[in-house]
Amino acid sequence: MEFRDIALGDKKWIDSLLRASDYDSADYNFTVMFIWREIINTNVARHKDLLLVRFAEKKKYEKPFVQNGCGNCDKIENPIALVSNMKPAPDGEEADVKHAYYLFPAGKGNDEELKESIDQIVADSEKLGAHVVLVGVLDKQVEFLQRYYPGKFDYQKYRNNFDYVYNASDLLTLKGKKYQSKRNFISRFKRAQNWLYEEITDANIGDCSAMNTEWCKKYGCSHNPSLFAEGCSVKMAIKYYKELGLKGGLLRLDGNVVAFTLGEMTNSNTFLVHIEKAFADVAGAYPTINYEFLQHNASLGFSFVNREDDTGDEGLRKSKTDYHPVKMIEKTVVTLKGHKLEIIPE
């Protein structure tokens, strides 16, 4: 079993195994794995009918920041540091790779095959000279590990990585007092006679790319690791939106794009919103793109909307909480006994 870089050509077989496992977390989605591949170096392998995913840390570090827009995402050399708050090594020095990051295997395997895959993951991390870390581990996966590997691992709930899941009917209707402020913002936005919603197509996807670059310049992506990483993932989603099968919508005000969003159906009843961008100084742009996008895709028949995690950002946490999720998909970081990650608060 050998890990290699994920590629667009992997979508068909990976999607097939992800559907078979039916995990409801946004982490188990090809688009997420692919658009973040330059940030977290997504590697994949297959063991029988199980998908194994590794987020590999490169040995050399370079400064990831540039002074314009999102920069050259292909040149990022310190991916794990960008998304985990680990401190990068000084320029030109070797990184001390202490951990190797993996997802719990996904696919059609039985318990014995799952155990084989876990053992191969541990062996792979040892080959790298690193401690194994399983990230985004769901509750039923934790139960599996505790049952078959008693005393081998430590378990840390990681709130920053919890997915927000909403009843589709709530977001489609915005009924009741709890959504009053959302309705007010949308009404304020729509009182402008020069607003327009458009489905994203080849004809206007370039406008979304230009807006993303402008957004990054405006909000300082070049000086903020998390925003820089996010900007690069958005750039990849825009570039490959058709190949990834994404649905998209945008808002114009006075002819200019002020918000856009991209998402997809992940299973028979859940719509996953990957990206939602708007200029914060355009009052009502965020709630309006959220509302209009779901309205224009309601015919897909989804019952739930997954808006992914908040990465620990206080603004995102408040925004996503204000939409009143019906549940949170809790996730755990699993490490070898005695090797808990310091970045996760107890």
153 and 246 both lie in a single domain: no
Environment class of 149 (CB within 10 Å of its CB; exposed 0-12, middle 13-18, buried 19+): middle
* Six token digits for residue 68: 């314009």
pLDDT of amino acid 225: 85
268 and 158 both lie in a single domain: no
* Six token digits for residue 179: 């959504």
Q: Does the residue 157 lie in any domain?
A: yes
CATH code of 307's domain = 3.40.630.30
Q: Does the residue 70 lie in any domain?
A: no
pLDDT of amino acid 53: 98
**Identity (one letter) of the amino acid at 90?**
P
CB-based contacts of 249: which residues, under 8 Å, 6+ apart? Answer: 197, 198, 199, 200, 260, 261, 289, 292, 293, 296, 297
- Closest by CA to 261, choosing from 253, 270, 269, 272, is 272
Q: Are 38 and 236 in contact (CB under 8 A)?
A: yes
pLDDT of amino acid 72: 57
Q: Does the residue 29 lie in any domain?
A: yes
Instruction: Going residue by residue through the chain, which has 346 residues, state the pLDDT in tens, using 9 for 90 and above.
Output: 899 999 999 999 999 999 999 899 999 999 999 999 988 899 999 999 999 999 976 443 333 333 334 455 654 444 444 444 433 334 444 444 577 899 999 999 999 999 999 999 999 999 988 889 999 999 999 999 999 999 999 999 999 999 999 999 999 999 999 999 999 999 999 998 899 999 999 999 999 999 999 999 999 888 888 888 899 999 999 999 999 999 999 999 999 999 999 999 998 899 999 999 999 999 999 999 999 999 999 999 999 999 999 999 899 999 999 999 999 999 999 999 988 887 665 5
Structurally, the chain folds into a number of domains equal to 2
The predicted model scores a pTM of 0.89
15 and 157 both lie in a single domain: yes
Q: Does the residue 297 lie in any domain?
A: yes
Q: Does the residue 67 lie in any domain?
A: no
- Closest by CA to 332, choosing from 57, 126, 141, is 141
113 and 155 both lie in a single domain: yes
pLDDT of amino acid 344: 61
36 and 102 both lie in a single domain: yes
Q: Does the residue 66 lie in any domain?
A: no
**Identity (one letter) of the amino acid at 42?**
T
pLDDT of amino acid 75: 47
111 and 158 both lie in a single domain: yes
Q: Does the residue 218 lie in any domain?
A: no
8 and 32 both lie in a single domain: yes
253 and 307 both lie in a single domain: yes
Which phi and psi angles does 80 have, rounded to 5°? -65, -35
49 and 171 both lie in a single domain: no
Q: Are 260 and 292 in contact (CB under 8 A)?
A: no
139 and 245 both lie in a single domain: no
246 and 141 both lie in a single domain: no
Question: Three-state secondary structure along the chain?
Answer: CCCEECCHHHHHHHHHHHHHHCCCCCCCCHHHHHHCHHHHCEEEEEECCEEEEEECCCCECCCCCCCCCCCCHHHCCCHHHHHHCCCCCCCCCECCCCEEEECCCEECCCHHHHHHHHHHHHHHHHHCCCEEEEEEECHHHHHHHHHHCCCCEEEEECHHHCEEEEEHHHHHHCCCHHHHHHHHHHHHHHCCCCEEEEECCCCCHHHHHHHHHHHHHHHCHHHCHHHHHHHHHHHHHHHCCCCCCCEEEEEEECCEEEEEEEEEECCCCEEEEEEEEECCCCCCHHHHHHHHHHHHHHHHCCCEEECCCCCCCHHHHHHHHCCCCCEEECCEEEEECCCCCCCCCC
* Six token digits for residue 241: 């939106």
Give the residue numbers spanning the domain of 150. 4-57+97-162+330-336
286 and 137 both lie in a single domain: no
pLDDT of amino acid 341: 80
pLDDT of amino acid 38: 86
Q: Does the residue 89 lie in any domain?
A: no
